[in-house]
Structures are given as C-alpha cells and as structure tokens.
C-alpha cells in the first residue's frame, strides 16, 4: 500500500470514528433531555398548584377558555356557551361528539345515577390502583352543580340521559376537580388537539388554532401516559361495562376491574385490522 493510500485510509478511519463519537454524543444528549424533561406527574408545590388552578377556574368562570395538563393528555376547557363554541371551532369538532365533564369520584357520586356498588368500584380503582378513566352514566339533570350551567353547554356535554366524566387524570386534574366542587362550578371540555388527530402530550405540540382559542394555558411538561398511538383516557359505560373508547392503561384497567369487581372489559378494537 502506498503512503498516499495509507494516509487516506487513516483519514477515513478517523472520520468514521469521529462520526460514531458524534452520533453517540447526540444519542446520549437526547437520552439526557428525555430523562430530565418535566412530567405532569412530577410533584408541584401545593401553593403553586393552587394558584394555577385558581387562575384556570377564574378564567373559565369569566367565560374564558383554558388549556390544562393531564397525565393522559393536554385538555381544553370552558363553561360558557361562547367558550364551548370557541373550543369546537378551534378543534374542528363535530357537534355530534359532546364534551366531557372534568370531575372526581365525589362529583360522580353527586351527579351520576349508579348503584352504590358501582360508585364503590370506581372509587376502589382510583384509590387502590391510581388509574385514570372516564365514566359514562345517567346523570341528575336537576342537581345544584348543574343549575348554573348554560343549557347550550349542557346539551353539548351530554348524550341523551348520560354524562361522560373524566376521573383521576393527574394532580392538576384532581386539584382542579376538588376546587371546582368547592366552588360549585363544574367545567367541560375535551383533549387539546384538532379533532381526530390524536392527543397532544406537550403544550408546545398543541395545534396553533387550539392554542389561540385559549385565554390561559398551564405547562407541566410531558404527559405521564404519552404514547405513540395518540390515546387519551379509556371511556367506560357503567351501565353495561361497554368500553366506548380504548385509552391509556387499558390492560391495567382490565385487570383492575376484574380483580376488584369481577368485571370483564372487552377491548373495542379486538379483531380490527392493523
């Protein structure tokens, strides 16, 4: 091998080693960023959390719209007719798809018409398993918690005699639900994304039209249950245990409902082509 060939080979090897080192460095930095990224499940100082919740509920009470961080996805909420209209327009959401109520087991007990054993099972899944899910069940339309809700909002947040309520979707959700109950002011909304495009798990990833519809937005980093499929909460009809939407933690929920209630939750997507 000539001196020139040897030098060229040495240079090529050196370049390859340098490229490999750069690639490893980039991979390490990416891993470090992901590890260091704030999660919605990371503890928030109680005073800071209370202030954020108050700001969101004050905005909604004034007729505005808010984006909040949940463990399942970012969500966009309102309570006024104008606010709900803004959300549906920004999302491009069909009026055939009602909003949901962002509640708690206490609010569910107050509003949902269910046998005591079904309320007890929902509470057990929350307290013993720590899982998020949504309940669809008949509701008490004349309850004081709904007395101040605009008829337009209620009509577009219910389906016939039933109401969809999200429970236990993370620390912000739970703190907001508790304060919502204390104020006697329930709130409604859906995931903060353009309709049928999948949930958003970082505030920065939310579509511009949806961000612009909100008067206030709270950023708590990456959602705990972020996933490649764009799933949010699992929605369960508590009348007959039909799974209306498969969401995050589904397999764990199936096991929990079987263990604590002897209930079999069927996968609504089983048998679908992939």
pLDDT in tens, the chain (274 residues): 555 555 555 555 555 565 555 555 545 444 444 557 999 999 999 999 999 999 999 999 999 999 999 999 999 999 999 999 999 999 999 999 999 999 999 999 999 999 999 999 999 999 999 999 999 999 999 999 999 999 999 999 999 999 999 999 999 999 999 999 999 999 999 999 999 999 999 999 999 999 999 999 999 999 999 999 999 999 999 999 999 999 999 999 999 999 999 999 999 999 764 4
Q: How far apart are CA 153 and CA 216, in angstroms?
A: 20
State the Rg of the chain over Cα.
23
Q: How far apart are CA 163 and CA 135, in angstroms?
A: 8
Topology, domain 46-261: DHBP synthase (3.90.870)
pTM recorded for the entire structure? 0.85
Range 192-198, long-range pairs (CB < 8 A, 24+ positions): 192/67, 192/73, 192/74, 192/75, 192/76, 193/73, 193/74, 193/91, 194/91, 194/92, 195/91, 195/92, 195/93, 195/94, 195/97, 197/230, 198/229, 198/230, 198/231
């Amino acid at each position: 091998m000539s001196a020139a060939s040897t030098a060229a080979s040495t240079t090529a090897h050196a370049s390859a080693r340098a490229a490999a080192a750069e690639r490893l460095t980039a991979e390490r930095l990416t891993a470090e960023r992901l590890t260091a990224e704030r999660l919605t499940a990371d503890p928030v100082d109680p005073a800071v959390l209370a202030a954020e919740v108050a700001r969101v509920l004050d905005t909604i009470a004034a007729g505005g719209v808010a984006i909040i961080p949940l463990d399942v996805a970012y969500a966009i909420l309102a309570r006024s007719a104008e606010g709900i209209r803004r959300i549906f327009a920004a999302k491009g959401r069909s009026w055939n798809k009602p909003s949901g109520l962002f509640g708690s087991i206490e609010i569910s007990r107050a509003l949902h018409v269910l046998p005591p054993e079904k309320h007890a099972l929902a509470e057990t899944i929350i307290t013993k398993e720590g899982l998020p899910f949504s309940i669809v069940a008949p509701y008490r339309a004349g309850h004081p918690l709904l007395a101040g809700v605009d008829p337009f909002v209620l009509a577009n947040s219910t389906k016939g005699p039933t109401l969809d309520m999200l429970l236990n979707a993370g620390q912000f959700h739970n703190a907001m639900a508790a304060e919502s109950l204390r104020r006697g002011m329930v709130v409604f909304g859906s995931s903060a994304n353009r309709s049928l495009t999948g949930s958003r798990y970082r505030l920065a990833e939310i579509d511009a039209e949806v961000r612009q519809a909100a008067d206030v937005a709270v950023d708590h980093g990456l959602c705990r249950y972020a996933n490649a499929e764009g799933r949010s909460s699992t929605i369960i009809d508590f009348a007959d245990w039909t799974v209306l939407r498969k969401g995050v933690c589904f397999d764990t929920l199936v096991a929990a409902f079987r263990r604590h209630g002897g209930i079999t939750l069927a996968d609504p997507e089983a048998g679908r082509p992939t």
